[in-house]
Structure 1
Amino acid sequence: MQISPSILSADFANLERELDRISNADWAHVDVMDGHFVPNLTIGLPVVEALARVTPVPMDCHLMIDDPDRWAPSYAEAGAQSVTFHVEAAGDPRQLARNLRGAGARAGMALKPATPFAPYADLLPELDMVLVMTVEPGFGGQSFMADQMPKVREVREAIRRHGGEIWVQVDGGVSAKTIEECAEAGADVFVAGSAVYGADDAAGAVEELRALVARHT
């Protein structure tokens, strides 16, 4: 069970300090948005390269961008230890996952709420993680979509049948109120933005979330 605070909810003027606030987390979740695949624009390669030099925890870059086949491997080369692309945007997700692994990163595949998992289940051998979005991608602070829990269960069951160590990540509206529901459904990596960075003690919020999911290990 891993906690991955999203810096989308952090103070962008002080990102090094904000990363230090979550030094007890398992990952730093970095949302990359291009203003095309989603209607928001955040950060890109130069900032990720800079963050790689100062982050106390490994980075998981979640790419909400067009043409990830072209751009995603560059994030691995920039220092992200995990890179997640949206299958809806990928031209050749199988080859892209292989390219990410070849660049030294874990390969993750993300699914929007309306995107079914079943058509992509045969990609599991190429993947290290499947991200089930529990909000519509593009903005932080949205309400948790509990109707995505059956998809989380479906992914977890497919992984059990397939074998291997493939993580199931949830992202969107994850908080102390919703994280146990996600864990019960089979998630084991939890992205939390405002639930962590909205707290006075971000590290304490990480520990609170970790304690809640520990009940389900």
Structure 2
Amino acid sequence: MEIIPGILVHSLEELKQTLKKLSWAKKIHIDIMDGKFVPNQTIQLAELKKINPKQNMQIHLMAHKPETYVKGFAKLGVKEFIYHAETSKQNKILIEKIKKTGMKAGIAFNPETTINKFKNAIKEAELALIMTIHPGFSGQKLIKKPLAKIKQIKTINQNISVGIDGGFNLTNCNLVKTSETDFAIATSAITKQKKSKEAYTKLRKKSN
């Protein structure tokens, strides 16, 4: 199971400090929130452009009109672009658009979202992200029920990589591991720890 440090910040300065703290990481997961789809607003594409992180970037977009973000993130060199299924009425078309840019296309699902109506999109997607908290803020407790979606999604698309986001830590990493997840995002458990690399190492050892 791959462990990816998560970044949820609200200013350019906070982003700079966090990227410096995670300079050891090869890959980072960056939350982009518009303050409308979720009750929080983070840094936007404009701030990322000013820094252009050297690490491989996995973008988690929590915003309306995801199609308007694709070109900008592709130009920035983002490797993986994940948006929420709930924000688009043309998921299959949007996934194809993302893939054409060279980015890996991912689709995220809120805890209450049922995946049955998104089967066609899942078949086309390369990544799926299951929210195990209600999106918007880090530090929440992991919700167990959505973990069942991992096997459901893999039944629809055997080649898809499925991850979880929210509440992942040393206490529940064994539970997450048994759910057959391929990757897990850790913001509070890694990024917000004083010794982030040490926290990552401990989490990785216990999860694999």
Q: TM-score over 0.5 for the alignment?
A: yes
CA distance in structure 1 between the aligned counterparts of 2:8 and 2:174, rounded to whole angstroms: 22
CA distance in structure 2 between the aligned counterparts of 1:105 and 1:4, rounded to whole angstroms: 18
CA distance in structure 2 between the aligned counterparts of 1:91 and 1:77, rounded to whole angstroms: 24
Q: 1:135 is matched with which residue?
A: 133
Structure 1's 142 and 21: CA in aligned 2 closer, same or farther, altered over 3 A? same
Determine whether 1:58 maps to 2:56. Answer: yes
Structure 1's 20 and 156: CA in aligned 2 closer, same or farther, altered over 3 A? farther
CA distance in structure 2 between the aligned counterparts of 1:134 and 1:26, rounded to whole angstroms: 24
- Output the amino acid matched with 1:91: K
Residue 209 of structure 1: how far off its partner (Å):
1.6
Determine whether 1:81 maps to 2:75. Answer: no
Structure 1's 175 and 46: CA in aligned 2 closer, same or farther, altered over 3 A? same
Report the number of matched residues: 208
Cα deviation digits, residues 173-210 of structure 1 (max 9, x gap) = 01111222112111111101010023221011111121
CA distance in structure 1 between the aligned counterparts of 2:185 and 2:149, rounded to whole angstroms: 17
Identity of aligned pairs, percent? 28
CA distance in structure 2 between the aligned counterparts of 1:116 and 1:23, rounded to whole angstroms: 37
Q: Check the 8 A contact 2:11/2:43 in 1, yes or no.
A: no
Q: Check the 8 A contact 2:107/2:122 in 1, yes or no.
A: no
Q: How does 1:44-193 map to 2 (within 5 A)?
A: 44-52=44-52, 54-55=53-54, 57-160=55-158, 164=159, 166-193=160-187
Residue 142 of structure 1: how far off its partner (Å):
1.0
- Output the amino acid matched with 1:203: K
Greater Cα offset, 84-93 or 64-73? 64-73
Gaps (5+ residues) in structure 1?
none
Cα deviation digits, residues 45-92 of structure 1 (max 9, x gap) = 11222342x33x211111100111222332222221111111100131
Gaps (5+ residues) in structure 2?
none
CA distance in structure 2 between the aligned counterparts of 1:126 and 1:86, rounded to whole angstroms: 15
Residue 131 of structure 1: how far off its partner (Å):
0.5
Greater Cα offset, 119-128 or 19-28? 19-28
Q: Check the 8 A contact 1:48/1:79 in 2, yes or no.
A: no
Q: Check the 8 A contact 1:58/1:81 in 2, yes or no.
A: yes
Question: RMSD between aligned alpha carbons?
Answer: 2.0
TM-score under structure 2 length normalisation: 0.91
CA distance in structure 1 between the aligned counterparts of 2:142 and 2:83, rounded to whole angstroms: 21
CA distance in structure 1 between the aligned counterparts of 2:11 and 2:191, rounded to whole angstroms: 9
Residue 99 of structure 1: how far off its partner (Å):
1.1
Structure 1's 23 and 153: CA in aligned 2 closer, same or farther, altered over 3 A? farther
